[in-house]
Structure 1
């Protein structure tokens, strides 16, 4: 296996980890307006991700940094062509972090309500735009012979990409509802399972159409296998949710995210950004990669530090593994 192939796999793993973790993270943010009925319940939901949301974003930083170092042409074309949606996502993530930190700094209802609205919108918008971005990457965009994106922002809002955005929005919210059911007690836990039932049904319809469309456009046998796993895992998550097996439901919804993202990267390979103008102008793992020496150094660094990151994140989730409910929120809050 060539090092550029290995780094394509590693970047796919990083994006998969990001969507698995930040997926339920975004879902919780969205559910603060659709599941929680009052400020105390919103505080419960926020507390379920309070110790981990910033750690989840490490995966995004690492994925972006790895793409920059391993595939600089891919990074340059992606971030210049998708500048507006990626800038919107970045602004949302900044405001979202501020909202988590500032919401409880003052006790006025208006202050807290405004920051809660910020959490909702800055969770919903990135959840949608990430789907739009990755759908465009897989489907292909207008790239010329100089590896430059020559389309417009509006070209990115095509039917396939918009459907991809709806899929990630629904899937992340479903993933978040199952996480809420896993991490809470009492009435909010029951309502989380009820919402997960509806969200899962909507996700199944949207995802099936999107994944079949992807498979028909650029899929192969490997991507078809990932599609089947994603569909079966989603159905299994719905079944486990009906049986009130929140742990299994969350694991299976996570497997759905993993398999769906894996399918996109399998359908994309060996391209990293296909050109719709001329297939010969597409960016591939070979013509967009850094030098062999750069990839070799990166491989050594990744082999040393990746296990450390995984260990401290796993430890964080273990420490904060217990369920919480409204009874755990002090009256002052």
Structure 2
């Protein structure tokens, strides 16, 4: 395996890991409006991801940084062509993080309500836009012979991309509902399981439509097993959720998310960014990569550090594994 192929694989793992983890906390943010009935229940949901949401975003920073270092041409074309969607995602992530930290700083009704709105919308919009972005990446966008994006914002929001965005939004919300059922007790846990059933069935329909379209338009023999695994894992997650096996349901929903993004990367390779203007102008893993020496130095750093970071984050999840409920939320202080 060439080093540029290894780094394409590692970047695919980083992006997939990001969506596996950030997917459910985007889902929790959306569920603060769709599942929680009052402020106490919204606080329960937020507390389920309180110890881990910022750690999940480290995967995004690492994936973007690795793309910049290993494939500078891919990074330049991607981040310039998708500037406005990425800017919207970045603003949402910043506001969302501030909302998590500032919501409880004051007890005023208006103050908390405004930050709760921010959590909802700044979870929903990135969950949708990430699907649009990766659908466009695998479908291809207008790229000229100089490797520059030559399209407009409208080119990024075609039917295929919108379907991809709708899939990630619903799938992440399903993933979040299963996580909520895993991490809570009482009535909110039962309602999370019920909501997960509806979201899971909707995700299944969207997954078959989008992943099937991707396989037909861009797929190959490598990507077909990922499609099968994603759809089968969704079905298994629904079954496990029905029987109250939340741990298995969450594992299966996570596999469904990971397999869906694995299909995207498997269908994409050996390109990293296809050109819809002329296939000859597509960016490939070999053509967009840094020098072999750069990749070699990066590999020496990444090989020992990646398992260490994954192990540390797994330990963090283990430490904060206990369920919570409304009874764990202290009553507001009297004034």
The TM-score range, normalised by the shorter chain, is: over 0.9
Structure 1 position 307, deviation (Å): 2.1
For residues 1-333 of structure 1, the aligned pairs below 5 Å read: 1-332=1-332
The alignment partner of 1:301 has SS state of: helix
Structure 1 position 301, deviation (Å): 0.7
CA distance in structure 2 between the partners assigned to 1:280 and 1:208 by the alignment: 30
CA distance in structure 2 between the partners assigned to 1:259 and 1:330 by the alignment: 40
Structure 1 position 6, deviation (Å): 0.3
Structure 1 position 303, deviation (Å): 1.4
CA distance in structure 1 between the partners assigned to 2:276 and 2:314 by the alignment: 41
CA distance in structure 2 between the partners assigned to 1:222 and 1:70 by the alignment: 23
CA distance in structure 2 between the partners assigned to 1:198 and 1:192 by the alignment: 10
CA distance in structure 2 between the partners assigned to 1:109 and 1:319 by the alignment: 33
CA distance in structure 1 between the partners assigned to 2:312 and 2:40 by the alignment: 30
Gaps of 5+ in 1: none
Aligned length: 333
Structure 1 position 308, deviation (Å): 2.2
The alignment partner of 2:272 has SS state of: strand
CA distance in structure 2 between the partners assigned to 1:323 and 1:234 by the alignment: 24
CA distance in structure 2 between the partners assigned to 1:168 and 1:324 by the alignment: 27
CA distance in structure 2 between the partners assigned to 1:33 and 1:279 by the alignment: 44
Structure 1 position 332, deviation (Å): 1.9
Structure 1 position 326, deviation (Å): 0.1
Runs of 4+ in 1 over 4 A off after TM superposition: none
CA distance in structure 1 between the partners assigned to 2:206 and 2:188 by the alignment: 26
CA distance in structure 2 between the partners assigned to 1:312 and 1:212 by the alignment: 36
CA distance in structure 2 between the partners assigned to 1:235 and 1:17 by the alignment: 21
The alignment partner of 1:57 has SS state of: helix
Tell which deviates more after alignment, 79-88 or 298-307.
298-307
TM-score by length of 2: 0.99
CA distance in structure 2 between the partners assigned to 1:143 and 1:188 by the alignment: 48
Gaps of 5+ in 2: none
Q: Deviations over 1:270-317 (max 9, x none)?
A: 000000111110000011000000000000111122122112211110
